Structure 1
């Protein structure tokens, strides 16, 4: 079974199997220090013992001045170049806990910004949609070159966060270049209207990512894993497939260890569909394998261009059969599991890889469709609905951080 086979990444990191606990918003590390804490350690202890091939942490902000949520783990801006002994110790404890059973753990790094160019967020054509975009986010100011690549700028912030992860004992980092976050803003022609060294062509739009990869590699080790999450091209996107392939080629040539294929943004939240929040894309094939994965079709396109690239696909997988067939299709090498990991933190050990006790027809985890409250259903702003659905799964992680068993009420069927 391919799912249970070891895989070696280009940096030399060996993953014991192909199942990866995907990154999710956790909200476990409130301010003012935003350090991983006992709740982080307790939650990750459950995943650590679950038999995963790789664990991706929830997104870690490279600057506490740009938080995605009030409970993000974040690097303190005023102390990023010299973390305190206490900060170093809690990071080491977190890393050791994540990896106590031998599962390599990767820290996902990102920055919550919308400043590649002065482009407003677009939640829709409705009056409330436009009002929310204006009142909540306004029109962003375009980031200067100094803020990007100067001392203490974005590139430096990613490097310092990667160094802190490296020194703590984590096995690598993943750059979040999808879902409308800052790196995704630079990669996309919809949000990057620049005409300087960081915009104007697919290659220039990818320049910030390439600089981060090179700088992180130089500041850490050739054995330190560097991955990136990137958006797919789909029917809901006006981005050119050729442009995205060109950017992937540049990233691959820069020495990336794996690329995770995802999709969507907070304007078009395809990464949040499923489990009753929305229907899968209409152009996804109806076979079990491809129906389960939202982004596998694009990954197969990437595979044709880059046969040696290690690809991870996250989104929608629920059965052993679907996961195994996705690997057999050649579209991906690694399977990312998000929401099911919040209700079954030991999903690999107990179900998916447990072939001696769980036959294929029963090796699945189906989640109860999210039932939005009446007021949320009636609210015309679509972001409210997706945000409320996401909170349900964040609540599961909170339970794990409190040392409680995940709520079985969110499981529709399981073994």
Structure 2
């Protein structure tokens, strides 16, 4: 039996090949212009990551509807109006010889009121614990659900035509598809809700529509919550049923994450929802991955798995791969602060350096404040600078308030980074 480690290539069900087992996962870059087109800062950022050594780069969430943005600076793809810039972005992201996939997303109710005329969702349930950023959504009509499916497929076709090698469908973190999957946010009683099978219908219809546009040999991936970590939300049992359905659809890679903006397990702040034993093993969702691996195997299906969240040391990453629990290690924040980290990992380096931003001291802003701290580091990379681990988070707070929609939009020149 061949020995497998981080350096081993992986052939996906579509026939596409990852040159190694390290992936840069989606991060919130916020580097579009005011027309939601990619900027040269974004292109420069991905050119740097293309040289990182990672076998797969997944872009930050790209919106399929410019009327529904999750934050200031989202790229949106509805058609080919920005095809030249998309092509430059794709060329930069694939320059190192790895795969580069676009993460496609609709925010649903997680669309800030200050950036959007309104928001839509499966049902009229407002997101809580978000300081009033989000308003009450309107329930989607059947015709609008059909339009969402069409938009995902159109965006997928457009970005692949521009030169990206695949797509990832974002069905986690409380965005629209995650909202449809959750019994807490999907109270519909029509063909799109009311039972687990109906709640996952939208995700499966989108996977089928995207596959029909891209054909059998272009990678189609899904990002899914292991659980919502909310009372009444999607639990691990129902999530496992969704995974099996996706495996039977023949997707190429499942990225496992968890939580929503109301219960932010994916930010590394699970508030006790994730077992201490799992945290001790670094990879927050590895136990769940082992469970679904067994389910998939018993069903006779083939679905490569990627876990994102908590990986820092080479030994733990290698063990996760060699044990067969997962097929790909997903890294996010470590690649912001160390853009060349995959090269070091593949060469046998010890792992990521421990870097944590200082606390703001304002409880209600801590989680998002930390996200913004990393967002500012991304902007530095986009400007051709190196990360600044000593930057104080208080300097980022005004930018957070603007991006969250609590203050007005920034001036054209933006904030100094």
Which band: TM-score by shorter chain? 0.7 to 0.9
- Mapped to 2, the partners of 1:190 and 1:300 lie a distance apart of 26
User: Does residue 200 of the first structure (1) align with residue 194 of the second (2)?
Assistant: yes
User: Does residue 24 of the first structure (1) align with residue 11 of the second (2)?
Assistant: no
User: Does residue 116 of the first structure (1) align with residue 118 of the second (2)?
Assistant: no
Shift of 1:255: 1.8
Shift of 1:279: 6.8
SS class of match (1:45): helix
- Structure 2: any 5+ residue segments left out of the alignment? 110-120, 392-417
User: Does residue 323 of the first structure (1) align with residue 313 of the second (2)?
Assistant: no
Shift of 1:281: 5.2
CA 1:109–1:234 in structure 2 vs 1: closer, same or farther (change >3 Å)? Answer: closer
1:316-355 counterparts in 2 under 5 A? Answer: 316-349=310-343, 351-355=344-348
- Mapped to 1, the partners of 2:367 and 2:148 lie a distance apart of 29
CA RMSD of aligned residues (A): 1.9
Shift of 1:373: 2.2
**Partner of 1:55 in structure 2?**
57
Which residue of 275, 283, 288 maps to 1:293?
A: 283
User: Does residue 96 of the first structure (1) align with residue 98 of the second (2)?
Assistant: no
Q: Are the counterparts in 1 of residues 278 and 285 from structure 2 also a CA contact under 8 Å?
A: no
**Partner of 2:252 in structure 1?**
257
**Partner of 1:145 in structure 2?**
142
TM-score, normalised via structure 1 length: 0.85
Shift of 1:234: 7.2
User: Does residue 364 of the first structure (1) align with residue 358 of the second (2)?
Assistant: no
- Mapped to 2, the partners of 1:50 and 1:370 lie a distance apart of 23
- Mapped to 1, the partners of 2:278 and 2:268 lie a distance apart of 17
TM-score, normalised via structure 2 length: 0.85
Shift of 1:253: 1.3
CA 1:280–1:20 in structure 2 vs 1: closer, same or farther (change >3 Å)? Answer: farther
CA 1:235–1:209 in structure 2 vs 1: closer, same or farther (change >3 Å)? Answer: closer
Q: Are the counterparts in 1 of residues 172 and 259 from structure 2 also a CA contact under 8 Å?
A: yes
Which residue of 8, 11, 24 maps to 1:5?
A: 8
Q: Are the counterparts in 2 of residues 98 and 105 from structure 1 also a CA contact under 8 Å?
A: yes
- Mapped to 1, the partners of 2:353 and 2:95 lie a distance apart of 29
Q: Are the counterparts in 2 of residues 30 and 70 from structure 1 also a CA contact under 8 Å?
A: no
- Deviation readout 1:226-282 (Å, 9 max, x if unpaired): 1000001376554343322222222221221111000010000111126xxx77756
**Partner of 1:126 in structure 2?**
none
- Mapped to 1, the partners of 2:182 and 2:238 lie a distance apart of 9
**Partner of 1:283 in structure 2?**
275
Q: Are the counterparts in 2 of residues 280 and 294 from structure 1 also a CA contact under 8 Å?
A: no
User: Does residue 405 of the first structure (1) align with residue 386 of the second (2)?
Assistant: yes
**Partner of 1:413 in structure 2?**
none
- Mapped to 1, the partners of 2:231 and 2:145 lie a distance apart of 26
CA 1:392–1:192 in structure 2 vs 1: closer, same or farther (change >3 Å)? Answer: same
CA 1:164–1:235 in structure 2 vs 1: closer, same or farther (change >3 Å)? Answer: closer
